[in-house]
Amino acid sequence: MSEQDPLYDLLVIGGGINGAGFAQDAAGRGLSVVLCEKDDLAQGTSSRSGKLVHGGLRYLEYYEFRLVREALRERSVLLKKAPHIIWPMRFVLPHSPEQRPAWLIRAGLFLYDHLGGKDDLLPGSRRLNMLSCPEGQAIKDDFPKGFEYADCWVDDARLVILNALDAQRLGAVIHTRHACTRAVRHQDHWQVEMTDTDSGEITTLRARALINAAGPWVDKVLKGAFGEQGKDRVKLVKGSHIILPKRYATANSYLLQNDDKRVIFVNPYEGDKLLVGTTDIVYEGDPDQVAIDDNEIDYLLGVVNRYFAEPYRREDILDSFSGIRPLFDDSRENPSAVTRDYVFDITDEDGKAPLLSVFGGKITTYRKLAEHGLEKLRSYFPQMGKAWNDAAPLPGGDMPGADFDAFLAGLEHDYPWLEHATLKRYARLYGTITRQILGEAKGYEDLGEHLGADLYAAEARYLMEQEWACTAEDILERRTKLYLVMSNEEVARVRAWVKAQKSEVDRVAMEEKGRVVSE
């Protein structure tokens, strides 16, 4: 490493929602930014959430009023910024008096309706007669009363991708599959090594400040790249979900109270499925190896079957996934009671180049987390612009009036040959970027090779060229959810196609390198 290494204002470590949010916000304020992520964007916690933009109704029980208020306000902000990947959803809460009395639920919902302020875009809560309303037909008659309130759904992984895309548009440099393996602090900058996790090649650079937003790996990064010692400050809490077939006709979600006072979400997922979760278990293993266990499966099925009239069995489970919540360790024994709020730790060793580490946080408040974190660095960057991105749409969200239905109707008019379900999937994933992918296509033959389900080469090529996808899993699991509807043979076809594309890119690069050398 030398003084010839490129110098950036800010290096962000971590390509989850917090890291991508930092990179986007900082680049928009005029800072030069580079982001490194050891795996794919959103490969960890940020693609394994409950996929909700919500205030956190249950956090009221732990008196997290500031967090809930901020999250409810952010819910409205994000709904306007990304109407293609975020949309309203109604949640039905069958009343179980053994857990919470009706007056307590009504009081909590009243607070929830009003904490967000007058700019809240969603309707308020209401009581339900579960024996007569359509939403009650799937629920046992043991629960004749219920409540309904509003929150929002989000495609969590795509929220990360869109922030990274916008960060890049604003000038940030995004390095996926590059781990920060060494960082040495100097008076006015950090000297950094990034290691390509595929090739082992080392890239060096300098940065005036570092942000450690590595999520579950935040302490590991501090001890590895920085050589810091001391007590871990993050509590790892595992949350697991199962995917079941959807057997009820209504479009709503359910919030189910369990006898341990926790709540479980049952949300419509990918059309004909349900996403059920989550668990809360202190985790001490390797975050890269996290997986659901039998006790968690029994727990989730037990809650569902307590309420649903038609029971589910293990054989009904279509898939599962687990993620690690990197919560700030506030010494509470109950994992459900550990704060979901975020905490910053900033060190500069007597005025030297600063390091800001991020603990905790949740998807809904990532934007405010980035705003607050950058303000803590303002004294180091007096030239940094003010907060700016409360209204700017994320890539693909720039549809007039944030009206998704009108936008979809326009696509159907322009591409009448494309099946409605496929076009809606495009619109939900990519918003206005859909037109960039489809271009002047007049039929399926113009989309290139059919790779399986409704995936064609045009879409897969866009994801590899523009959204950092490098493997079939990047395409099928994080940027789309097509793995849920593809056969093993189709997945293998996608893998072979991706491998061929990468080989072609490598061949062209080698030819170009040879041409430059010969000249």
149: amino acid identity, one letter: Y
Can you give the pTM of this predicted structure? 0.95
Distance CA 374, CA 389 (A): 13
Judge if 323 and 348 occupy the same domain: no
For residue 493, the domain's CATH number is 1.10.8.870
Q: Which helix (H) or strand (E) holds 264?
A: strand 263-269
More confident residue, 401 or 476: 476
Number of domains observed in the structure of the chain:
3
Confidence check: pLDDT of 456 > 90: yes
Encoded tokens for 312: 């589910």
Judge if 222 and 254 occupy the same domain: no
Boundary of a domain, candidates 380, 409, 435: 380
Judge if 318 and 347 occupy the same domain: no
Q: Which residue has the tokens 């781990």?
A: 179
Assess contact for 8 and 34: CB atoms under 8 A. Answer: yes
The HSE-up count of residue 67 (CA atoms within 13 Å, CB side) is 22
The full 3-state SS of 315-375, as one line of letters, equals HHCCEEEEEEEEEECCCCCCHHHCCCCEEEEEECCCCCCCEEEEEECCHHHHHHHHHHHHH
73 in any annotated domain: no
Judge if 510 and 410 occupy the same domain: yes
Phi, psi of 281 (to 5 degrees): -135, 130
57 in any annotated domain: no
Per-residue pLDDT tens digits for 307-329: 999 999 999 999 999 999 988 77
Distance CA 11, CA 79 (A): 29
Distance CA 150, CA 255 (A): 11
Distance CA 61, CA 456 (A): 48
Judge if 146 and 189 occupy the same domain: no
245: amino acid identity, one letter: P
199-210 as b/e, with b when 16 or more CB fall inside 10 Å?
A: eeeeeebbbbbb
Q: C-alpha distances in angstroms, 192 versus 195, 328, 434?
A: 10, 26, 38
54 in any annotated domain: no
For residue 176, the domain's CATH number is 3.50.50.60
274: amino acid identity, one letter: L
Judge if 201 and 132 occupy the same domain: no
For residue 330, the domain's CATH number is 3.30.9.10
Confidence check: pLDDT of 80 > 80: yes
**Lowest-pLDDT range, 33-47, 56-70, 135-149, 505-519?**
505-519
Judge if 350 and 326 occupy the same domain: no
Judge if 332 and 344 occupy the same domain: no
362: amino acid identity, one letter: K
- What distance, in Å, lies between the first and last C-alpha atoms of the chain? 28
Question: What pLDDT shows up at residue 33?
Answer: 98
Judge if 209 and 321 occupy the same domain: no
Per-residue pLDDT tens digits for 486-500: 999 999 999 999 999
Judge if 15 and 101 occupy the same domain: no
Distance CA 364, CA 361 (A): 9
| Residue 117 pLDDT level (bands cut at 50, 70, 90) | confident
Question: What pLDDT shows up at residue 335?
Answer: 63
Judge if 113 and 134 occupy the same domain: yes
More confident residue, 230 or 88: 88
**Lowest-pLDDT range, 202-206, 243-247, 357-361?**
357-361
Question: How many residues are listed for the chain in this entry?
Answer: 519
Assess contact for 303 and 259: CB atoms under 8 A. Answer: no
Judge if 304 and 346 occupy the same domain: no
Boundary of a domain, candidates 350, 380, 410: 380
Residue 366 is part of which domain span?
A: 7-45+158-229+340-380
